[in-house]
A = this chain, B = another copy of it.
Amino acid sequence: MDQVDRKLLSLLKNDAKIKYAELGQEVHLSAPAVHERIKKLEKNEIVQGYTIVTNPKKLGLPLCAFISVTLSNITLCKDAVLHIEKMKEVEECFSTAGEESLFLKIRTRDTDALEQLLVRLRSIKGVEKTLTRIVLTTHFERTALGE
């Protein structure tokens, strides 16, 4: 992992369809050299995969929210996560420090769908309460990169 690899990652983050020849120009290497470096990044699981970025609004999921879920007992966490994992509206799920709680990022069609989701969440064993933070404006959502 040197400066060249970091540059390659940055360029690929921005557009994974960029040609190897163009990558080569950017880092002053040939296409095969770029190829070899990227394969190594994949092998080392620094690059975990390739994906598309979709527009949630155009897919009918304009509502975004963060929900903190308070659990009565931390030992119920693993089981709760299994239930939550099945809920397609939940995009991300974390355990956070501070309270014994889970923290979710979700997307739904509308507030009705959000309410239904909350009902389902509260029906999970060990879930004591939920606190919802509805997103009004997404200022930016960039993909993590240390550069």
Chain A residues with CB under 8 Å of chain B are 9, 12-17, 44-56, 58-61, 64, 66, 68, 81, 84-85, 88, 91-98, 102-103, 107, 133-147
Q: Copy number of this protein in the oligomer?
A: 2
Q: Is the CB of B103 within 8 A of A133?
A: yes
**Closest B-chain residue to A131, C-beta based?**
B98
Q: Is the CB of B47 within 8 A of A54?
A: yes
- Chain B residues whose CB sits within 8 angstroms of the CB of A139 once the complex forms: 81, 84-85, 93-95, 102
Q: Is the CB of A52 within 8 A of B135?
A: no
Bound-state Cα–Cα, A93 to B48, Å: 24
A-B contact pairs, 12 of them (CB 8 A): A9-B54, A9-B59, A13-B54, A16-B51, A44-B58, A46-B58, A46-B59, A51-B53, A64-B94, A66-B103, A92-B138, A95-B137
Q: Is the CB of B142 within 8 A of A91?
A: yes
- Chain B residues whose CB sits within 8 angstroms of the CB of A138 once the complex forms: 92-94
Q: Is the CB of A51 within 8 A of B15?
A: yes
